[in-house]
Structure 1
Amino acid sequence: MTRDQLAEQLARLDPGASLNVEESSLAALFGSDRLDDRIVHDIEVFALEHRCSFSMHEHGPHRVIPCFEKDDIF
C-alpha cells in the first residue's frame, strides 16, 4: 500500500467508520521500521488532513493495532 492508496481508503470511509492498518505496514508508509513518537505525530497529521482521527488500540501484551476513524462531522 502507498500513502496515496491509504488516502483513498480514508476518503471512502463513511462517517464514524474505521480502518485498521498493520503496525509494520503503516510504519513503512511513513519511512520507518516502527511507530515511534515522531512517526505517530506524522500519522496523526496525515489522518487530520483526511478528516480522520488516529489511535493505537492494544490487543494483548504484544499486539497493537493502529486505527483510523472517520470524523462524524464534515
Structure 2
Amino acid sequence: MRRVGGKDTQDLVRRTLGLMISNPSAAKYSWLGRRQKAAFKEFALAKLIIEVALNVKSVQKKEVEVAISNWLRRAKDRMKKPE
C-alpha cells in the first residue's frame, strides 16, 4: 500500500481504495454509517489506510478520514461512468 503513492492525501486514498474495493461494494458504506449504510470507519481496512497515509504523507488523521469519506460518497457516480 505504501508504494501506491499519490500527489496528495486525496490522491493516495483514491488510488489505494480503488485497488481494494469495487464501486458497488463502496456504495454500501459511508464513513459514519449514516443513511442505512454500514460504517466504514469500523473496519480494519480503514485503520490500515489511515496508518499508511500518516506514515507516507505528513498529514493529520482527520484529513485522511475526510478523503476516505469523499471517496465513498462518490461510489455511485463512479459506477455510472463508462470505463
Relative to the length of structure 1, the TM-score reads 0.39
Structure showing the higher helix proportion among its residues:
2
Structure showing the higher strand proportion among its residues:
1
Relative to the length of structure 2, the TM-score reads 0.36
